[in-house]
């Protein structure tokens, strides 16, 4: 008599249980490794943006683009359009790897829409109201205070602008960061966002205070260096010339979900 070789039901259940246990242990580690790889890729993108910004300023006597000019729309020149001739148009360089989803339902009334932690913003550039709409997407945003608008009456807070790269403390002045909008104008007394990814009206810090990289965002600075920034530390960067770092941050201990 020959006995057939094989696994018993108990042995199969034990093997399956071991595999399930190993998966439960490995999956969080694999998830962390994937997030870290995406954060590193995002930092590489921002380093490349540093090259493009440096090329632009080298070609313009050390000065930046005009930015948004309320009193003279014809002078308006946003960062992603001003640098268009410097970066390749067929790449994902405007996207953080964590936030590549785009909104297919563009709001033609507002001509733009806000992104989030995992979704890109959209901005319709000239010519306006073209059919189909001419939309730029991205998930990085520029510090609104870094711009060189024309020296004319009515330009908002002209004295606060970082107009060029030749400034002291450039390593603490944000230039480009992970963002839920194309730009943002943080103030030292901006409140913390009530929830992650919220976009309160006229709160420029909330554009950048998004939990995109495990409690942090990546940022490019005016000296063209790149580093990881903890969300609470965003308030203690020198966003504009008059920014009050010593008194910065939400009032009292009101940091909300950032505690």
- DSSP letter for each residue of 114-175: ---SSB-EEEE-SSTT-SS--EEEESEEEETTB----S-TT-TTGGG-B-BS--TTGGGSEE
SS3 189: coil
Spatial distance between the Cα atoms of 56 and 51, rounded to a whole number of angstroms: 9
| Ordered strands of the 140-143 beta sheet | 183-184, 140-143, 174-178, 216-221, 226-230
Per-residue b/e over 204-235, b at no fewer than 16 CB within 10 Å?
A: bbbbbbbbbbeebbbbbbbebebeebebbebb
What does the domain layout of the chain look like in residue ranges? 11-258
Strand partners, 178: 140
Q: What is the model's pLDDT at position 105?
A: 53
Q: Residue-wise over 154-185: b if at least 16 C-beta within 10 A, else e? A: ebeeeeebbbebeeeebeebbbbbbbbbbbbb
Q: Let me know if 82 is exposed, middle or buried by CB neighbors in 10 A (0-12, 13-18, 19+).
A: buried
In this prediction, residue 201 carries a pLDDT of 65
Pairing, β 112-113 against β 121-124: antiparallel
Query: Could you give the CA distance from residue 232 to residue 204 in angstroms, rounded to a whole number?
Result: 14
Measured on CA atoms in the order 54, 144, 71, 126, is the torsion positive or negative? positive
Determine the Cα–Cα distance for residues 210 and 195; give it in Å rounded to an integer: 9
pTM summary value? 0.83
Place of tokens 């410097």: 86
Please spell the DSSP secondary structure of 9-23, one letter per residue: HHHHHHHHHHHHHHH
The partner residues of 138 in beta bridges, in order of sequence, read 121
Q: Report d(CA 137, CA 104) in Å as an integer.
A: 11
How many whole angstroms separate alpha carbon 141 and alpha carbon 200?
16
Q: What is the pLDDT along the chain (259 residues), one digit of tens a residue?
A: 555 566 677 877 888 888 887 777 777 766 677 777 888 999 999 999 999 999 999 999 999 999 988 777 777 889 998 999 999 877 789 999 999 988 755 544 444 688 889 999 988 765 545 555 678 899 999 999 999 998 887 888 889 999 999 999 999 999 999 999 999 999 999 999 888 877 776 789 999 999 999 999 999 999 999 999 999 999 999 999 999 999 999 887 788 888 7
Q: For residue 97, report the phi and psi dihedrals to the nearest 5 degrees.
A: -60, -25
Q: What is the pLDDT of residue 13?
A: 81
């Amino acid at each position: 008599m020959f006995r057939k070789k094989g696994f018993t039901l108990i042995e199969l259940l034990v093997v399956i249980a071991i595999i399930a246990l190993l998966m439960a242990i490995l999956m969080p580690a694999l998830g962390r490794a994937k997030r870290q790889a995406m954060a590193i890729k995002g930092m590489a993108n921002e380093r490349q943006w540093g090259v493009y910004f440096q090329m632009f300023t080298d070609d313009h006597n050390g000065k930046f683009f005009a930015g948004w000019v309320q009193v003279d729309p014809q002078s308006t020149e946003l960062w992603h359009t001003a640098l268009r001739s410097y970066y390749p148009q067929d790449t994902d360089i405007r996207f953080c790897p964590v936030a590549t989803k785009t909104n297919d339902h563009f709001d033609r009334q507002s001509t733009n829409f806000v992104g989030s932690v995992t979704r890109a913003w959209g901005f319709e550039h000239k010519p306006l109201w073209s059919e189909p709409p001419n939309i730029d997407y991205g998930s990085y945003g520029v510090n609104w205070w870094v711009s060189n608008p024309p020296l004319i009456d009515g330009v908002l807070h002209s004295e606060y602008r970082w107009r060029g790269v030749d400034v002291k403390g450039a390593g603490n002045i944000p230039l480009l960061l992970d963002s839920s909008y194309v730009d943002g104008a943080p103030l030292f007394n901006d409140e913390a966002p009530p929830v992650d990814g919220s976009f309160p009206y006229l709160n420029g810090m909330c554009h950048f205070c998004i939990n995109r990289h495990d409690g942090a965002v990546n940022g490019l600075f005016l000296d063209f260096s790149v580093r990881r920034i903890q969300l609470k530390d965003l308030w203690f960067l020198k966003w504009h010339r008059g920014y009050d770092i010593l008194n910065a941050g939400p009032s009292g201990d009101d940091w909300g979900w950032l505690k």
